[in-house]
Copies of this chain bind each other. A is one copy, B any other.
């Protein structure tokens, strides 16, 4: 059971947007045992779309197409589908009244003829209800392949996939089970890990595949198994994962597909009924943002002070002005003071603080670009560590945020 994804839109081919739709669709298809063979991104060009439809028709049973369903002239997917399926467009009354309802309820401008055009659908298509927008999904079939055309707006596409597309695929196709397990590690490089688990890797059962996914100080180890018996597969994958602990247990911090360290920290704090605050300089609120991206964070996350200027470190966080003068604003002493003070001000059990220089210019300190201090304050102690994070602004910030969560998790574990 094999699927393909075709994303249509000039904006992808000129690099103006990153195609995140495909990742979502691929993930959802995988969960129900459908392998994605290929993702193809193409321009809003009739002949090119026709070629892509033809090629995918030969290869896959399900083809999901996103984009090009908007009301404006640059969107040609619907017309091209009509050409490919030798079909014509006809107004669909249910879609039209849905569009009229949406406009009445949510839009301040009156409905236009352009908006009404979105109610035109190919006569051979099954219409998939788009509760979040005006362009409906379309399900069409040819030579044993299902073609499913969806709008490119991510949140409309997601609604359609979840509510309309997946249930139909599950009903229509028999699928094997695909099991993924991702072991999350930090603090050791890809090849150093590979050396430590070499024997284990060589002895993996044939139906289990291993992949290394390195990123900014972390490596994810992904185990994939495919087969008919779901429980048996799950057991085998779990057994193999367990064998990793004696080998690299010290660097493993989670083993769920969507685990990230922030979520792990959130779970730990919730369980222990303890709280966290942060004081951020060059990380500019990124620690807070990643923490609060998790629903329910208000239970354990008290807040952040982003003290981007030296002045605010003194005024808001109450860092001693002399401390700054003596040690410079990028120093172990200031990091420690920031963590201690924010913990007190926000009345939390733990605190994390960052001060450093992310470049490209030097800012308020003499420390070279890439020098950062990360401080952790716990109910028992406060300490800071110095790091050299390279010279790439974005990477310095993200590596430091990752490192801060790593340090934090190790400390929270002790309580």
Contacts and interface: CB of A to CB of B under 8 A. Distances in A.
Interface string A203-226: 000000111111000001010100
A contact patch SS:
mixed
A355 to B, nearest CB: 12
B74 A153 contact: no
A17 to B, nearest CB: 7
Given A194-B114, A212-B74, A15 B27 contact: yes
Contacts of A195: 112, 114
Given A72-B190, A73-B201, A285-B285, A346 B40 contact: no
Copies in the complex: 2
Contacts of A312: 277, 302-303, 345-346
A182 B16 CA distance: 10
Contacts of A71: 190-191, 194
A315 B346 contact: yes
A12 B292 CA distance: 26
Contacts of A182: 16
Interface string A37-66: 111111110001000000000000000000
A212 B72 contact: yes
A105 to B, nearest CB: 11
Contact of A309 (B289, B303, B392, B395): B303
Given A71-B191, A293-B284, A346-B316, A26 B39 contact: no
Contacts of A291: 284
Contacts of A311: 302, 346-347
Contacts of A36: 13-15
A263 B352 CA distance: 28
Given A284-B288, A306-B303, A315 B347 contact: yes
A329 to B, nearest CB: 11
Given A16-B23, A70-B214, 20 more contacts: A10-B209, A13-B39, A14-B180, A15-B27, A16-B257, A37-B48, A39-B40, A40-B40, A72-B194, A109-B188, A153-B214, A155-B395, A280-B285, A284-B289, A285-B288, A301-B309, A302-B311, A304-B305, A304-B306, A315-B347
22 contacts: A11-B211, A12-B39, A13-B37, A14-B27, A15-B23, A16-B182, A18-B22, A18-B23, A38-B42, A39-B41, A71-B191, A72-B212, A107-B189, A280-B285, A284-B293, A292-B308, A295-B361, A298-B364, A302-B309, A303-B309, A304-B304, A312-B345
The 4 residue pairs across chains A and B that have the minimum distance between CB atoms:
A15-B27, A284-B292, A285-B285, A15-B26
